[in-house]
Amino acid sequence: MNTSRSHDFFITGTDTEIGKTFSSSALLQAFGQRGLSTIGMKPIASGAELRDGQWHNEDVDSLMAASSVQASPSLVCPYLMQTPAAPHIVAKQENVTISLPHILASYQQLTSAAEAVIVEGVGGFCVPLNDQVDTADLAQQLNLPVILVVGLRLGCINHALLTAQAIRARGLHVAAWIANTVDTQMLYLQDNIDAIQQRIAAPMLGHIPRLNGNTTDNMKTAATYLNVDILK
Measure the CA–CA gap between 178 and 168, rounded to whole angstroms: 17
Instruction: Give the start-to-end residue ranges of the domains of the chain.
Output: 9-154+166-231
User: Quick one: pLDDT at residue 1?
Assistant: 59
* Residue 183 exposure: Cα atoms within 13 Å on the Cβ side: 14
pLDDT at res. 214? 83
What pLDDT is recorded for position 58? 93
Residue 42 is among the residues annotated as catalytic for this protein: yes
Q: What is the pLDDT of residue 52?
A: 83
**What is the per-residue burial (b if ≥16 Cβ within 10 Å, else e) of 80-102?**
bbbeeeebbebbeeeebebebee
**Distance from C-alpha of 176 to C-alpha of 149, rounded to nearest angstrom:** 9
The pLDDT value recorded for residue 54 is: 86
CATH architecture classification, 9-154+166-231: 3-Layer(aba) Sandwich (3.40)
**According to the model, what pLDDT value does residue 4 have?**
61
Query: Tens place of pLDDT for every residue, the chain, 232 residues?
Result: 545 688 999 999 999 999 999 999 999 999 999 999 999 999 999 998 988 888 889 999 999 999 999 999 999 999 999 999 999 999 999 999 999 999 999 999 999 999 999 999 999 999 999 999 999 999 999 999 999 999 999 999 999 999 999 999 999 999 999 999 999 999 999 999 999 999 999 999 999 999 987 888 898 999 999 999 999 6
Active-site residue (options: 20, 42, 220, 232): 42
pLDDT digits (tens, 9 = 90+) for 180-200: 999 999 999 999 999 999 999
